[in-house]
Each structure stands twice: as C-alpha cells, then as structure tokens.
Amino acid sequence: MNSKNDKPIPSGIAGIVGPSLLGVLSACFAFLFYGGWGYWVNLGYGHEMALKVFMAQGSYSFILTLIMAVLIEGLYRLFTHRGSREQWSRSRVDWSTILSSCFVVFSGSWLVNVFAGTPEIFKTVLLGYMFGGLYTYVYVLGLSRRKP
C-alpha cells in the first residue's frame, strides 16, 4: 500500500467474488450437497420421504451457511473481550468458540430433522457434523491468527 487511501489487494476466492457472493454461493452448494446427502441416506424410505429430507436438510444447510460465520465471529469476540477481570488464554478462547458454535449448530440441525420426521437422523447429520466441525476449527484458527 502506497498511501492511506490504497486498499489491500484481495486474495483467494473471497477476493475474486466478494464476501457476500461467496456466502451465497457457499449456501447454494450446502443446499445441494447436504440436501442430496439427506436424500440418498433416506431413499430407502421412499422418494417422498427422501425428498422431504432433501428439502429440510438442504434448507437448513443453506441458512446455516449464511449465518455460521457470524455466529463464530460473535462468539470469538465474546470470549476474547471478557474484560480485564478474567483473561483467557488463546487456546481456551479458540476451543470455547469451537465447542460453543458446534453445540448451537449441531443442536439446531438435530432438531430440524426431528421436526421434519427424518428416519435416519444420525446418518443424515453425521456428514454435516464432520464438515461443520472442521469448518469451524479452520475458521477459528484463522480468527486467532489475526492481529488484534
């Protein structure tokens, strides 16, 4: 950067499409991927039930993808700004953020599938739990490497 008006050069896919469009594209991918996974896992219960699961799991995944980063960043800020009375180590902040975020997201996913009447809830949400946990870990790792 040559002057204070220069903006940093964006890098990665977020720099190419912008964060808003990236969030929408990620949400569309999540809808198709996790909805398709739910459909496939529950196809043994008939096309109608599998389609219902596709819509429930896909819709939830779409919405979740749009709000997940906001939740993670909010919890991370909450745990890093607890005041001077209680200073937490960076590792404790990171793991508190990861576990709190995963608890909220995973509980919501389970409940959506309970209300949708999903026959194979565990199999339906397992893939999302694995990728969601990994996504949360990587996201928090990126946050913790930022300079304050």
Domain boundary assignment for the chain:
16-145
> Cα separation of 118 and 50, whole Å?
9
φ and ψ of 99, to 5 deg: -70, -40
Look at residue 15 and tell me whether its pLDDT is greater than 50. no
Residues 6+ away with beta carbon under 8 Å from 96 = 75, 79, 88
Share of the chain above pLDDT 70, in %: 78
pLDDT of residue 18: 45
Q: Sort 24 into a burial class: Cβ within 10 Å, 0-12 / 13-18 / 19+.
A: middle
For the packed helices 19-42 and 121-145, what is the interaxial angle rounded to 10 degrees?
160
pLDDT of residue 146: 65
Look at residue 3 and tell me whether its pLDDT is greater than 70. no
pLDDT of residue 7: 47
Mean pLDDT of 78-102: 75
Tokens of 29: 């991918």
pLDDT of residue 2: 45
pLDDT of residue 22: 61
Tokens of 116: 């949708």
Mean pLDDT of 62-91: 74
